[in-house]
Chain A
C-alpha cells in the first residue's frame, strides 16, 4: 500500500503524526513517543474535571454530527447506579470517508488511549469497539494493540472488547450500533430515550467516533486552551480534522488541517486538484450525505462546521468527494441514491420506499425515458423524505438529489431532452 504521504507543509499534524511509522503501532513504540502519558494524567483527575477539559477545548464529534463531545459526556448520570458503557464507533461507512481506518491502522494505541480517557470520564465499566466487518486489516491491528494494552494494564478494571460488524452502513448510526452490539438487526431507535439515559442493554451509554477519541489524549496533555487555539475561523469549530479527499484528484488521501482551513487550498495545493487539464465541477465536502457544492461554492468554502453551513452544506464526516468536468452528475447522483436504497434498514416508510423510488426515477432519466415532471417529483419526494424519519438516512438520500437538481439542472434537462447518454465511472 502506497500510503501514507509525507505531511504537506500546510497540514497541522496532530492525529496523523505517526501515520506510516510502523513502530508507533506497538505499545512500546507508542510509549516511546509519549503515548499513555495523557492517560496517566487523566486518571489522576476527577472524571468531571476530565469532561470539563474536553468541554472547554471545543472538541466536536468527528463522525458526522459535530455534537460537542464534552457536553455529550456530561449527559451521563451524575450518580453511578447502573453499569456505564462506552461504544467506539469504528463503523466508518460514509462514502468519501476513510480516516478512521488510518487512525486504527497506524496509531491504534491513540484510539485506545483516547477510549481509556473517555471511559474514565464517563465512568464506564465496559467499552465495545465496533469495527465494520470489511475492515479486516484494522481489526487485526486493533486486536494486537488491545492485547498489548490489556497486558500493560492500560484500562485498569474496565473491560474493552472488539465487536465486528457484518455489512450495514446504518450501523454507524449510534442507536443502530447499540442494537447491533446487542445481537439485533441494526435498526436505529426512536429517541427518547437517549443513550446517556438508556442505551446499550438499557444502560447509560456514550458513543464516540474514532477520530474524536483520538484527539482526547492530545487535549489532556497539551490543554484545552491549546486545542481551542487551533482555529482559523469560527471559534465554535476548534482543533484539527482529518479530511479524506477522494474522487477526481491527483493526490487523494487524508490531510489534517486546522478547522477553518480553506477547502480550495486542500483540493488544489495539497491534492493537486483534478487530473491535468480538467476543471473542478462539484464537490461534496462532508461525505455523501451532505448537499453538493458547486465549483464557486467549493472554492470559497472554509472547512469548519459553520463555514460549510454558510455555503449550504455540512462538514459531516469530512469526506471530501471531488468531481471534475468529466463526471456525469446525474449518473453519480443515481449511484448515491442506489447506495441509500441498498442501506435503508426498512423501518420508516419514507426511507424504505422513497430511497428505492427515487433511484428508479433517476435510472429512468438516465435511460432516456425521463419526463419533465420527474424533476418536480424528485423534489417533492425528497421533501417527504426529509425531517420525518427515525434517523437521517432518508434525509441523506434526499440531499444529493435536491442539491443536484438545484445546481446541475442543465445536466438533468439534457437527459430529459434526449440529448445525452449516461457516462458511468470513467
Chain B
C-alpha cells in the first residue's frame, strides 16, 4: 500500500487505485460497470437507490459500491447470485410503479432503467394486479418538465440543485411511496444551470421541453464539439438527426466543465440549423452579386489582393476558429495590417459548487485565440481605419457595419438584408461550428478541438480551408507553429 495506492480485485481482475477511491470507480478501472442510479461522480454520494449492491469478501452483508472505499486486498464480486438477486430485487421494486411509457418516453434508448433491466432484471412483473401510483406532469420552469410517475427518486436532481448549483429549489416531498420531487408552488426552476437535471435524470422523469418528442435516442449521431456560447469552452456533444442539430449535451471534462453546461449554451444551437445560408460564392459583376464557382471566386480575391497595397483591416468574429483567424492574417500579410473583433457581453452566471466554472460575460468561444494571434478589441478604431483601407476582410461578422472605399471581402454564413456586407466585392460562404473542425482557445488559454457534426450547406466551405487556399495561391505558406 505504498505511495497511497491500494490493490484490490474486482470480479477477479486486479486493479490498483489511489487510496480513498470508491469501489464503484475502482470497478470501472477493472472494466466492470456496477449498475447504479443515484451515484454520479459530479454529485455528493447518497447511497439511496441500492442498485449498486455488490458482494465484498469478509463483509457480512452486501455493500453499496458507491459508498464503500477500497481497502488493501479487498475482493469485490459483482456477479455472485446474492448480489445479482439483490439488484434484481431493486429493479423489480423500481418497476412496480414505473409506467410502461417507453413507446412515448423521450428517454427510451438512453434510459438507464431500460439498460439495467435488460441486463439484470426479471422477465415479467409480479405486480400485475395492483394499480400504479399516479401523479400528473408538472411544469417546473423554463425548460424542465417533471413526470412524477416515472421518477425513481434517485435524488440526483435535488442534490445537483442543492450542492452543485447551491440553490435548493427542488426537494423530496412527502414520505414512503407517496414521495415525489417537489418545488415550492411559487418557485421556478430557472437557475442558469438548471437544465443539467435533465441530463442527470437516469430515466424520463425530468425532460427538456425543447427536446420533447423531437427525436429518438437511437436516431441521433453524436459528435464532440465545444460550446460557442461563451469563453468558458465547455465540452459538448452535438446530437444530430438527419443532419440537423437537435440537442446539445455536456461532455465530461474534469478540467473545464466537469459534467455540466449552462442553459445558455444548451439552448444555443438552433442558429446552427438556419436555412437562410449563403450557399454559393458570390462576386460583384455589373454592380450586382452573382453566384460563381470557387475557382472564379478565389481568383477574384487573389486579383484584388495582388492589386492592392497599403492598409488592410480584418474584422473578425471571436467565434471563428483559430485556424481561420491565423490563415486570415497570413492572407493579408503583405499589408499594413490591423485586425479587430468585438464581443457581445452578458451577465456572468457561475456554477457555485464547481471552481472556475461559469457562463462567462464574454459570449464568444475564441476571443483569447484571436488575441493570441494579434487581433485586438479596438473595433471602433478598426472601423475608422477601414474607411480608407485598401482591403477590408470581414470574417463571420454578419452584423458588421463597415464602410470602406477599398475592396470588401466577406466570409460568412448568412447575409442579412440590410447588412453592410451586401456591398462586398466578394462573398464567400463558410461553414458554421457544427459543419467543420477547428480549434478554440478558451479564457484559460486551453486549446480545444471541435469536430464536424453535419455537412455544410450548398458549396459552403470551412473558413480555414478557404483562407488557406488563398494563402497558398498568394505564396504565403503556412507559418510553422
Please state if A346 and B153 are interface contacts (CB–CB under 8 Å): yes
Interface-facing stretch out of B43-51, B366-374, B408-416, B452-460: B43-51
A353 touches which of B46, B64, B67, B94 (Cβ 8 Å): B94
Whether a CB of chain A sits under 8 angstroms from the CB of B274 is no
Q: A190-B67, A360-B130 are in contact. Are A390 and B177 (CB under 8 A)?
A: no
Please state if A357 and B93 are interface contacts (CB–CB under 8 Å): yes
Which A residues from 369 to 426 make CB contacts under 8 A with B? Answer: 369, 377, 381, 383-384, 387-390
Residues from chain A with Cβ under 8 Å of B67 in the complex: 190
Please state if A349 and B175 are interface contacts (CB–CB under 8 Å): no
Interface-facing stretch out of B8-16, B84-92, B227-235, B330-338: B84-92
Please state if B51 and A349 are interface contacts (CB–CB under 8 Å): yes
Residues from chain A with Cβ under 8 Å of B177 in the complex: 341, 344, 346, 352-353, 355-356
Grouping DSSP codes into helix (H, G, I), strand (E, B) and loop, the A interface class, with mixed when no group exceeds half, is helix
* Nearest A-chain residue to B98, judged by Cβ: A353
B265-291 to A contact mask, C-beta < 8 Å, 1/0: 000000000000000000000000000
Whether a CB of chain B sits under 8 angstroms from the CB of A350 is yes
Please state if B50 and A345 are interface contacts (CB–CB under 8 Å): no
Residues from chain B with Cβ under 8 Å of A352 in the complex: 93, 153, 176-177, 179
Q: A346-B153, A349-B51, A384-B86 are in contact. Are A354 and B45 (CB under 8 A)?
A: no
Whether a CB of chain B sits under 8 angstroms from the CB of A33 is no
Bound together, the chains give a CA A142 to CA B188 distance in angstroms of: 43
Residues from chain B with Cβ under 8 Å of A390 in the complex: 47-48
Bound together, the chains give a CA A348 to CA B129 distance in angstroms of: 24
Whether a CB of chain A sits under 8 angstroms from the CB of B472 is no
Whether a CB of chain B sits under 8 angstroms from the CB of A185 is yes
Whether a CB of chain A sits under 8 angstroms from the CB of B174 is yes
Residues from chain A with Cβ under 8 Å of B53 in the complex: 388
Which B residues from 409 to 465 make CB contacts under 8 A with A? Answer: none
Bound together, the chains give a CA A388 to CA B89 distance in angstroms of: 10
B166-187 to A contact mask, C-beta < 8 Å, 1/0: 0000001011111100000000
Residues from chain A with Cβ under 8 Å of B178 in the complex: 346
Please state if A384 and B89 are interface contacts (CB–CB under 8 Å): yes
Residues from chain A with Cβ under 8 Å of B90 in the complex: 349-350, 384, 388
Bound together, the chains give a CA A353 to CA B49 distance in angstroms of: 11
Please state if A349 and B130 are interface contacts (CB–CB under 8 Å): no
Residues from chain A with Cβ under 8 Å of B47 in the complex: 190, 390
Q: Which of B46, B92, B172 has the most CB of A within 10 A?
A: B92
Bound together, the chains give a CA A147 to CA B214 distance in angstroms of: 66
Bound together, the chains give a CA A341 to CA B177 distance in angstroms of: 8
Please state if B175 and A346 are interface contacts (CB–CB under 8 Å): yes
Which 10 residue pairs are nearest across A and B when measured between Cβ atoms? A384-B89, A346-B179, A353-B93, A356-B177, A344-B176, A190-B47, A347-B48, A387-B61, A349-B93, A349-B90
**A interface bracket (residues with beta carbon within 8 Å of B):** 20 to 34
Please state if A348 and B50 are interface contacts (CB–CB under 8 Å): yes
Whether a CB of chain B sits under 8 angstroms from the CB of A55 is no
Please state if B93 and A341 are interface contacts (CB–CB under 8 Å): no
Whether a CB of chain A sits under 8 angstroms from the CB of B96 is yes
Whether a CB of chain B sits under 8 angstroms from the CB of A343 is yes
B31-68 to A contact mask, C-beta < 8 Å, 1/0: 00000000000000111111101000000011010010
Whether a CB of chain B sits under 8 angstroms from the CB of A8 is no
B111-144 to A contact mask, C-beta < 8 Å, 1/0: 0000000000000001101100000000000000
Please state if B96 and A353 are interface contacts (CB–CB under 8 Å): yes
CB distance from B258 to the nearest CB of A (A): 23
Residues from chain A with Cβ under 8 Å of B29 in the complex: none
Residues from chain B with Cβ under 8 Å of A364 in the complex: 129
A377 touches which of B48, B62, B97, B126 (Cβ 8 Å): B126
Whether a CB of chain A sits under 8 angstroms from the CB of B389 is no
* Nearest A-chain residue to B86, judged by Cβ: A388
Whether a CB of chain A sits under 8 angstroms from the CB of B301 is no
Q: Which of B53, B93, B97 has the most CB of A within 10 A?
A: B93
Bound together, the chains give a CA A354 to CA B97 distance in angstroms of: 11
CB distance from B333 to the nearest CB of A (A): 62
* Nearest B-chain residue to A364, judged by Cβ: B129
A and B contact pairs by CB, cutoff 8 A, 21 listed: A190-B46, A190-B67, A341-B176, A342-B175, A346-B174, A346-B175, A347-B48, A349-B49, A349-B90, A349-B152, A350-B90, A352-B179, A354-B93, A356-B176, A356-B177, A377-B126, A381-B89, A383-B89, A387-B61, A388-B50, A389-B50
Which A residues from 326 to 362 make CB contacts under 8 A with B? Answer: 341-350, 352-357, 360
Which A residues from 178 to 207 make CB contacts under 8 A with B? Answer: 185, 190
Q: A190-B45, A352-B153 are in contact. Are A388 and B61 (CB under 8 A)?
A: yes
Which B residues from 61 to 113 make CB contacts under 8 A with A? Answer: 61-62, 64, 67, 85-86, 89-90, 92-94, 96-97
Residues from chain A with Cβ under 8 Å of B85 in the complex: 384
List 20 extra interface pairs beyond A349-B49, A357-B127, A384-B92, CB under 8 A: A190-B67, A344-B175, A344-B177, A345-B175, A345-B176, A346-B175, A346-B177, A346-B178, A348-B49, A349-B50, A350-B90, A353-B96, A353-B177, A354-B93, A381-B89, A383-B89, A384-B85, A384-B89, A384-B90, A387-B62
B176 touches which of A343, A377, A381, A383 (Cβ 8 Å): A343
Please state if A350 and B45 are interface contacts (CB–CB under 8 Å): no
Residues from chain B with Cβ under 8 Å of A350 in the complex: 50, 89-90, 93
Bound together, the chains give a CA A366 to CA B176 distance in angstroms of: 22
* Nearest B-chain residue to A348, judged by Cβ: B50
